[in-house]
Amino acid sequence: MTRRPPGGLEVPRDLSLVGYDNTYLSRIRHLWLNTVDNASYEVGRRAAQCLLDRMEQPGRPGGVQLVNPTLEIRGSTAAPHADPPDRP
């Protein structure tokens, strides 16, 4: 992390962080954020295909498209301490 969280905590030693979307920022080496990849490219591709299908067959019934997200493990989470340190 580029900035230390308040109170002297360190990531991931004292604080675990997880992001969402898997943007390019989460892959920057000094950030190296664990993140959920929601497969936005695939979601967009399927949405475009649904629109093209609907234009070709306007009476076609709608449907449900499911895309499985994945968890990208990098360096911003850790297992909890066995004995958490005392906090003021």
- Strand 70-72 and strand 34-37: the pairing is antiparallel
Whole-angstrom distance, CA of residue 5 vs CA of residue 19: 16
Whole-angstrom distance, CA of residue 66 vs CA of residue 59: 22
Residue 21, token pair as written in the block: 């979307």
Q: Residue 84: which pLDDT band, with cuts at 50, 70 and 90? A: low
Whole-angstrom distance, CA of residue 49 vs CA of residue 20: 25
Q: What digits encode the pLDDT tens for the residues 22-77?
A: 888 887 877 789 999 999 999 999 999 999 999 999 998 989 999 999 999 999 99
Is the model more confident about 70 or about 1? 70
